[in-house]
Amino acid sequence: MSLKSSIKTVMTLGRGVAQGIPPAADDDDPIELFRKWLTIAEEAGIHEPNAIALATTTPEAAPSVRMVLLKGVDERGFVFFTNYESRKARELEASARAAFVIHWPVLERQIRVTGSVSRVPEEESSAYFSSRGRGSRLGAWASKQSRPLPERSELVSRVEEMKERFGGGEIPLPPFWGGYRIVPDEIEFWQGKADRLHDRLVFRRTATGWEPARLYP
């Protein structure tokens, strides 16, 4: 983090603690509130403010969680990208459900999201893949994500093979790589407050829209 970002982060300490979360109206849009909070985190200079802890489950209901980067937020839901042969992808394909939490300690804020999961269209995955650095694109082709790696030299060798394979030309979207969209049915906003009397505001999707409710801390 740069000195400028560090200063901005320190100046942001505890933002929102005094004011809390404003009352929610029935027509409030939690997606828009999510984007507003994310923008504040980005402007604060927080390192990777879009990092989320993504939770999935095995068919036996064993939970697993890992950090991934959120790459898209709109009225359709929340998008991230991965190898479709990874552990997370296998679990997502099996259950079609997921949850994540995004946490900004310096702001004393977090947001929890739960919902159904589906793959994004290939053209959407391809557009994002093309925006990545060349090294990341080569790495996506080289990595057998989540599978055993006897020694790191094997991964390095596979990257070199991909460099030779594609040369200086375009690196296309791998057929085993792409995005997932979490379509939320519940979004909870948490704002830290003094004496641990935190603000919690949850939105639950209904047949007619979003229904807000306050929760005890």
pLDDT digits (tens, 9 = 90+) for 177-216: 999 999 999 999 999 999 999 999 999 999 999 999 999 9
Three-class SS of residue 99?
strand
Question: What is the b/e burial string over 48-77, where b = at least 16 CB atoms within 10 angstroms of the residue's CB?
Answer: ebbebebbbbeeeeeeeeeebebebeeeeb
pLDDT at 2 over 60: no
Pairing of strands 199-206, 177-191: antiparallel
- What is the rounded average pLDDT of the residues 157-183? 97
Residue 11 is part of a domain; what is its CATH number? 2.30.110.10
Number of domains in the chain: 1
pLDDT at 10 over 70: no
The answer to whether residues 198 and 192 touch, using CB atoms and an 8 Å cutoff, is yes
Is residue 152 a part of any domain in this protein? no
Pairing of strands 177-191, 72-74: unpaired
Is residue 197 a part of any domain in this protein? yes
What is the model's pLDDT at position 21?
79
Q: Which range of residues forms the domain containing residue 206?
A: 3-130+175-214
Is residue 122 a part of any domain in this protein? yes
Q: Mean of the per-residue pLDDT values for the chain?
A: 91
Is residue 146 a part of any domain in this protein? no
Query: In this predicted model, which residue has the larger pLDDT, 76 or 1?
Result: 76
The DSSP bridge partners found for residue 113 are 100, 187
Is residue 160 a part of any domain in this protein? no
- What is the rounded average pLDDT of the residues 58-67? 95
Catalytic residue among 152, 196, 200, 205: 196
What is the model's pLDDT at position 5?
47
Is residue 72 a part of any domain in this protein? yes
What is the model's pLDDT at position 16?
53
Is residue 65 a part of any domain in this protein? yes
Predicted TM-score (pTM) above 0.85: yes
- What is the rounded average pLDDT of the residues 50-57? 98
**Calpha distance 212→38 (Å, rounded):** 20
Is residue 60 a part of any domain in this protein? yes
pLDDT at 8 over 70: no
- What is the rounded average pLDDT of the residues 111-117? 98
Q: Is residue 26 very low, low, confident or very high in pLDDT (cuts 50, 70, 90)?
A: low
pLDDT at 146 over 50: yes
- What is the rounded average pLDDT of the residues 99-117? 97
Is there a catalytic annotation at residue 196? yes
